[in-house]
């Protein structure tokens, strides 16, 4: 049988991304067009702006991906798309484009779940099967634990009841005057700080439940910067206090994430852990995951850094569906809140 080539589209949030991969999971091209300059001045992602930016960037990204892969459209065998979860307007742009390409080329459409793809990024980086495993996704929009019996069977075990881990990084970065996106900025600032200077709250840490909550932690950081009743300084002076807050905040998030992942492994009896999403680009998190899984006899799978944050290459999850002949009707809708 000829090699199958799939073109994939990701527009769930603020990256416009298109990738082409084959059924051997070889990524032939991967374009990620950042919308940073559209959102920077708002200090966060504005949904309406994201949708408009996808409109502007998507066609160029599709053409670029075909050119980078040196592939005529006639060699495309299917179109994959993340149709949720994510921002409704942003998802609509990607899904509409995917449907039109599938219709125009008369090839199957394969809609996959963006969060599941974050876990599949670990499978791609591993270069071998990683299922069954516990999957954890820690990103700007999500903090979720899954029991993954196969790539196509991911059962939600728990997740955040308020902010996502990446969102907490972004909000704390804003409180500390570190800019946007906050994760890498907080990580940099934390390098020179003492992670044990402030004992920030770790929600549900001692509880037997597989959920997260980061809003109390964010408030604790705010009150460390400016106690209740006092005016908040426009920016926290750079220096020891700012670095210590960043390092102590990062430690609290990392401790909670790693302990909940280990709890999920214990509950399910599974021996493999795959962690995906933008926050897993964080070196402190990666290091603690490595140490604690080793101590507990767990195989750990992490994506390479370029597969951590949002991208279309991780939609190679669609190859699993392709192999089983599972295709999606062109009537499919966006699923902004489905995990
Ligand atoms: O997966 P992603 O690109 O988008 C979503 O699906 O949400 O994740 C983006 C999130 C942002 O909140 C960003 O601040 C966070 O990942 N992030 C990090 C790091 N790099 C990105 N958080 C902590 N440390 C990092 N190095
Ligand atoms: Zn994501």
Surface-to-core class of residue 181, CB atoms within 10 Å of its CB (0-12 exposed, 13-18 middle, 19+ buried): buried
Residue 86 CB–ligand 1 contact under 6 Å: no
Same domain, 274 and 318: no
Residue 160 CB–ligand 1 contact under 6 Å: no
Same domain, 59 and 108: yes
Same domain, 55 and 78: yes
Domain that holds residue 166: 127-307
Same domain, 49 and 170: no
Same domain, 219 and 253: yes
C-alpha distance across the termini of the chain, in Å: 34
For residue 219, give both structure tokens: 């408030």
pLDDT at residue 1 is higher than 70: no
Q: How far apart are CA 311 and CA 164, in angstroms?
A: 19
Q: Please give the distance of CA 202 from its chain centroid, rounded to a whole number.
A: 22
Same domain, 164 and 295: yes
Same domain, 301 and 159: yes
Q: Which residue has the tokens 């044990």?
A: 196
Q: How far apart are CA 253 and CA 224, in angstroms?
A: 16
Q: What is the pLDDT of residue 230?
A: 73
What are the pLDDT digits (tens) for 2-21?
799 999 999 999 999 999 99
Same domain, 228 and 137: yes
Same domain, 279 and 156: yes
Q: State the pairing for strand pair 78-84/5-10.
A: parallel
* Residue 333 within a domain: no
Neighbours of 177 (CB within 10 A): 16
Residue 281 CB–ligand 1 contact under 6 Å: yes
* Residue 280 within a domain: yes
- Distance from the alpha carbon of residue 151 to the mean position of ligand 2, in angstroms: 17
* Residue 248 within a domain: yes
* Residue 137 within a domain: yes
Q: How many domains does the chain have?
A: 2
Q: What is the pLDDT of residue 165?
A: 96
What are the pLDDT digits (tens) for 132-166?
999 999 999 899 999 999 999 999 999 999 999 99
Q: What is the pLDDT of residue 228?
A: 76
What are the pLDDT digits (tens) for 192-228?
999 999 999 999 998 999 999 999 999 999 999 887 7
Q: How far apart are CA 250 and CA 285, in angstroms?
A: 9
Same domain, 301 and 314: no
CA nearest to 181, candidates 164, 200, 158: 164
pLDDT at residue 43 is higher than 70: yes
**Residue 144 in contact with residue 166, Cβ under 8 Å?**
no
* Residue 338 within a domain: no
Q: How far apart are CA 286 and CA 271, in angstroms?
A: 18
**Residue 50 in contact with residue 87, Cβ under 8 Å?**
yes
- Closest ligand 1 atom to the C-alpha of 139? 8
Q: What is the pLDDT of residue 236?
A: 66
What is the average pLDDT score of the chain? 94
Q: Whose CA is nearest to atom 14 of ligand 1?
A: 183
Same domain, 154 and 105: no
| CA distances in angstroms from 49 to 36, 81, 294, listed in the order given | 11, 20, 43
- Distance from the alpha carbon of residue 13 to the mean position of ligand 2, in angstroms: 8
- Distance from the alpha carbon of residue 278 to the mean position of ligand 1, in angstroms: 3
Residue 235's pLDDT band (cuts 50, 70, 90): low
Residue 89 CB–ligand 1 contact under 6 Å: no
What are the pLDDT digits (tens) for 98-125?
999 999 999 999 999 999 999 999 999 9
* Residue 19 within a domain: yes
* Residue 330 within a domain: no
CATH number of the structural domain spanning residue 71: 3.30.420.40
Q: Please give the distance of CA 157 from its chain centroid, rounded to a whole number.
A: 17
Q: How far apart are CA 296 and CA 241, in angstroms?
A: 35
Same domain, 170 and 294: yes
pLDDT > 70: percent of the chain: 97
Largest Cα–Cα distance in the chain? Answer: 70
Q: Which residue has the tokens 């997740």?
A: 159
Q: What is the pLDDT of residue 41?
A: 81
- Distance from the alpha carbon of residue 50 to the mean position of ligand 1, in angstroms: 16
- Closest ligand 1 atom to the C-alpha of 115? 6
For residue 206, give both structure tokens: 């001692």
**Residue 65 in contact with residue 7, Cβ under 8 Å?**
yes
* Residue 334 within a domain: no
Q: Whose CA is nearest to atom 8 of ligand 1?
A: 278
- Distance from the alpha carbon of residue 143 to the mean position of ligand 1, in angstroms: 11
Residue 280 CB–ligand 1 contact under 6 Å: no
- Distance from the alpha carbon of residue 279 to the mean position of ligand 2, in angstroms: 10
């Amino acid at each position: 049988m000829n090699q199958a080539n799939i073109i994939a589209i990701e527009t769930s949030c603020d990256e416009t991304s298109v990738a082409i991969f084959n059924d051997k999971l070889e990524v032939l091209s991967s374009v990620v067009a950042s919308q940073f300059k559209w959102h920077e001045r708002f200090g966060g992602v504005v949904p309406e702006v994201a949708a408009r930016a996808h409109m502007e960037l998507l066609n160029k990204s599709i053409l670029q991906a075909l050119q980078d892969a040196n592939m005529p459209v006639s060699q495309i065998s299917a179109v994959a798309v993340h149709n949720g979860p994510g921002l409704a307007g942003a998802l609509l742009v990607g899904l509409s484009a995917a449907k039109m390409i599938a219709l125009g080329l008369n090839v199957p459409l394969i809609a996959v779940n963006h969060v599941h793809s974050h876990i599949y990024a670990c499978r791609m980086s591993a270069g071998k099967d990683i299922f069954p495993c516990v999957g954890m996704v820690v990103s700007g929009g999500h903090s979720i634990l899954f029991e993954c019996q196969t790539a196509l069977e991911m059962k939600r075990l728990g997740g955040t009841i308020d902010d996502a881990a990446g969102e907490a990084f972004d909000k704390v970065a804003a409180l500390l005057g570190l800019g946007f996106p906050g994760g890498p900025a907080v990580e940099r600032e934390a390098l020179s700080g003492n992670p044990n200077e402030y004992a920030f709250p770790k929600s549900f840490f001692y509880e037997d439940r597989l959920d997260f909550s980061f809003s109390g932690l964010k408030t604790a950081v705010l009150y460390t910067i400016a106690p209740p009743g006092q005016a908040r300084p426009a920016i926290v002076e750079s220096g020891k206090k700012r670095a210590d807050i960043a390092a102590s905040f990062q430690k609290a998030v990392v401790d909670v994430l790693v302990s909940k992942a280990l709890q999920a492994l214990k509950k399910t009896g599974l021996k493999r852990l795959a962690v995906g999403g933008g926050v897993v680009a964080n070196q402190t998190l990666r290091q603690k995951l490595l140490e604690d899984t080793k101590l507990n006899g767990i195989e750990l799978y992490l994506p390479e850094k370029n597969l951590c944050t949002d991208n279309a290459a991780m939609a190679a999850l669609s190859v699993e569906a392709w192999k089983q002949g599972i295709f999606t009707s062109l009537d499919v809708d966006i699923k902004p809140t489905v995990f």
